[in-house]
Structure 1
Amino acid sequence: MTLIQSHPAVPAEPFADAGGFSAYYGVRLAPLGEDGDSLLLLGHQDDNTVLAVLTVYFRRVCGERILPDSRVDDLRRDGIRRTWARRLPGDGHFDWRFEQTAPHTEGAQKVTILPSLWLSTEEVAAQEHCPQDDCGRASRSHRAYGFINDQGPLPVRTCWYCGNRWASASGGPAWPRG
């Protein structure tokens, strides 16, 4: 019996030794594509594990926290895709690539794929209180660089409640974010 493969000249390789993976809560994950707009998790992970791993990845790697809004519900309902894939050699630009396969395909492994860039996030920063006289609410909303009264670039906070912007005392990540 012969198995038909979409790339018969390219042998499948296991993900076990693939570069670019990090592990959180025992789950290995790697960003996909140039912008990391999707993530590949090894194994078929349940929703709570996916959210836990995604949260720690965003905090440690991206310097951001995921905001608890309807987009998280959308991710849980429609965005998490559990499938089978196999690793293939890279195309010169990336060390490896993958293709979705049937479970019985040689080299196939369970994976969980999810989009990540469309989630609402804010940069991780120490909590400060809005200096606006009638507000005073706590804020972690932070942009690494911004301008206030023609001064900048400097770390800027924005109060989500009243919209006030002020220079952040705690600084923040050392790289500009979009």
Structure 2
Amino acid sequence: MTELIDNPEMEDTHYGIQMASLGEDGDRLLALGHHEPKRVLAAFNRYARTVIGWPNIADDFTASAADWAGRLEQRWAVFRKPDPDDDEWDVPEYAWHADWSDPDAPGARPVTLLDVA
């Protein structure tokens, strides 16, 4: 049975926004909540600098926030523990799995995503 997680553990918090990277290569960034674009981009940018070690979210000193604002995506997700029976990652650092959902799904939380690949 799927065990839902009410408060998923994130990797870091910047400007009051909790966030983590998604996927094996961290090519998507996830922030809990729906946020104003300028604020969440600033938080993602700081995350990229302090956690990932990039100069900014683009890994390019010449990039600007305007280059990235259109890549933000607001969705809803249900967080749950990974299910080893479904061949999901059974890696200790993957404490949760996010399933995209409708806003009215049980346990759904608003999230903001940024594809940095």
Same fold (TM over 0.5): yes
TM-score (norm 2): 0.78
Which of the residues 69, 84, 89 maps onto 2:81?
A: 89
- Aligned-pair Cα RMSD in Å: 1.8
CA contact (8 A) 1:12 1:106 kept: no
Amino acid at match of 1:112: T
CA contact (8 A) 1:32 1:38 kept: yes
* Superimposed CA distance per residue, residues 106-145 of structure 1 (whole angstroms, 9 cap, x where no aligned partner): 100010011124xxxxxxxxxxxxxxxxxxxxxxxxxxxx
* Structure with higher helix content: 2
Give the whole-Å Cα distance in 1 for the aligned partners of 2:106 and 2:62: 40
Aligned length in residues:
105
Q: How does 1:47-86 map to 2 (within 5 A)?
A: 47-66=37-56, 67-69=61-63, 72-77=65-70, 79-86=71-78
Larger relative strand fraction? 1
Comparing both chains, which one has the higher relative contact order based on Cα–Cα distances under 8 Å and sequence gaps of 6 or more?
2
Q: Percent identity?
A: 30
- Asked whether the 8 Å contact 2:10–2:18 carries over to 1, the reply is no
Alignment TM-score, normalising by the size of structure 1: 0.54
Tell me, which stretches of 5 or more residues in structure 1 are unaligned?
1-8, 118-178
Q: Does 2:19 match 1:19?
A: no
Cα 1:11/1:64, change in 2 over 3 Å: closer
Gap runs ≥5 in structure 2: 83-87
Q: C-alpha displacement at 1:68, in angstroms?
A: 4.0
- Tell which structure's C-alpha radius of gyration is larger: 1
Runs of at least 4 residues off by over 2 Å: 18-21, 66-70, 72-75
